């Protein structure tokens, strides 16, 4: 992008090299076996991205949504699964702690999360409350200097590996009266439930977080009681922007693979790149990918400058993953039977990208957010 500064260009180069060395060679195997590339995840600390938005005071890079999206794109281009786990750690856990926790909490948790010693996750969705994020029913009841937490979180990325969970709970009778806690597995604050087996993002562990009347000190609460709704909504914005970066990476991978294949595959005595229908699909893929790139990074930059309107993240999240699903389908069509097989990575790209139309708010929820704003509806 023309407005990337030198630091962002260097970050892109470093992440691309890391992805090719530590992610690409193992992506298909981890997808097939439904295993987590823990070794690569830990090595992300060596290139300084586990705390991409966190303050240098705690070992972070001190960068913003633009830089985080660069990481998502470069990692997502070769292994969207590992990238999703990276997002859950760096954006849903670390970024939340950076922006909302006390100085004491930041000093306690961020250094180990940023060094890779600890893995983080966020607990928001529940078995009965996914799209209705503020309807959550996991309750935290105060008694003296402690809270008793009871409930279950569902669809939690990194659940089985997480040392730290940033968890939203209900602490009041009104729907928006939510409070947040930083919980530690080693202290028995939560347990990981059964793993969830998925059609895509198979190398990104997903499961339950279980709280069975867990006793937690008041000191684990983030901010004031009943005031976390603001934190939740603000972090959803950067999550929606950065998760679209994974889709952008997938689009670029589909395009590159399709161009390569069209120049190699022969039918009727010539390479299929000579056929107009193939040219049409590849040309559209290229134009759509470049359009998405400019759109996404413009919104990310505006977010960093505090100039995003309240629907920008929702618009990005609605449009880019949906367009990339179409691109992945076209890439499969170009490859014919090979595209439908596991001989090529196109089917994995499609399966992985579908998650971006569901996670961090479904397409339908994004439409509601945008429409309500435009129509000035409550």
> What does pTM read for this prediction?
0.97
* Cβ–Cβ under 8 Å, residues 316 and 291: no
Residues 6 or more apart in contact with residue 314 via CB below 8 angstroms: 240, 361, 366, 369, 370
Q: What is d(CA 188, CA 171) in angstroms, rounded to the nearest whole number?
A: 21
pLDDT, tens digit only, all 378 positions of the chain: 778 999 999 999 999 999 999 999 999 999 999 999 999 999 999 999 999 999 999 999 999 999 999 999 999 999 999 999 999 999 999 999 999 999 999 999 999 999 999 999 999 999 988 778 788 999 999 999 999 999 999 999 999 999 999 999 999 989 899 999 999 999 999 999 989 999 999 999 999 999 999 999 999 999 999 999 999 999 999 999 999 999 999 999 999 999 999 999 999 999 999 999 999 999 999 999 999 999 999 999 999 999 999 899 999 999 999 999 999 999 999 999 999 999 999 999 999 999 999 999 999 999 999 999 999 997
- The total of other beta-carbon atoms located within 10 Å of residue 325's CB is 19
- Asked if 239 is an active-site residue, the reply is yes
Residue 175: the pLDDT is 87
* Cβ–Cβ under 8 Å, residues 182 and 109: yes
Domains and CATH numbers, the chain: 6-119 (1.10.540.10), 121-226 (2.40.110.10), 230-375 (1.20.140.10)
45: enclosing H helix or E strand: none
Q: Which of 74, 239, 288, 357 is catalytic?
A: 239
């Amino acid at each position: 992008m023309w407005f990337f500064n030198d630091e962002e260009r260097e970050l892109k180069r470093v992440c691309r090299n890391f992805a090719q060395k530590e992610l690409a060679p193992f992506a298909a195997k981890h997808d097939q076996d439904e295993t987590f590339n823990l070794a690569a995840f830990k090595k992300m600390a060596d290139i300084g991205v586990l705390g991409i938005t966190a303050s240098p005071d705690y070992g972070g890079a001190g960068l913003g949504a633009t830089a985080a999206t660069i990481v998502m794109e470069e990692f997502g281009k070769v292994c969207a699964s590992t990238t999703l786990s990276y997002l859950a750690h760096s954006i849903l856990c670390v970024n939340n702690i950076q922006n909302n926790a006390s100085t004491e909490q930041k000093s306690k948790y961020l250094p180990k999360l940023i060094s890779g010693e600890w893995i983080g996750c966020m607990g928001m969705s529940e078995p009965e409350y996914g799209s209705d994020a503020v309807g959550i029913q996991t309750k935290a009841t105060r008694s003296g200097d402690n809270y008793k937490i009871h409930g279950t979180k569902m669809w939690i990325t990194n659940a089985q590996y997480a040392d730290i969970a940033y968890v939203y709970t209900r602490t009041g009778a009104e729907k928006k009266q939510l409070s947040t806690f930083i919980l530690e597995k080693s202290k028995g604050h939560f347990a990981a439930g059964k793993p969830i087996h998925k059609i895509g993002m198979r190398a990104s562990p997903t499961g339950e977080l279980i709280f069975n009347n867990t006793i937690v000190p008041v000191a684990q609460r983030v901010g004031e009681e009943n005031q976390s709704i603001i934190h939740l909504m603000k972090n959803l914005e950067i999550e929606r922007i950065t998760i679209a970066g994974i889709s952008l990476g997938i689009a670029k991978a589909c395009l590159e693979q399709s161009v390569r294949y069209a120049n190699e595959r022969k039918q009727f005595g010539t390479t299929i790149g000579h056929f107009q229908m193939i040219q049409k699909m590849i040309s559209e893929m290229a134009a759509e990918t470049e359009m998405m790139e400019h759109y996404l990074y413009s919104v990310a930059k505006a977010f960093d400058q505090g100039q995003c309107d309240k629907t920008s993240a929702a618009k990005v999240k609605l449009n880019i993953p949906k367009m990339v699903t179409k691109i992945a389908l076209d890439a499969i069509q170009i490859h014919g039977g090979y595209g439908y097989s596991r001989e090529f990575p196109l089917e994995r790209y499609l399966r992985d990208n579908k998650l971006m139309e569901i996670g961090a708010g479904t397409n339908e929820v994004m439409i509601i957010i945008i429409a309500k704003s435009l129509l000035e509806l409550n």
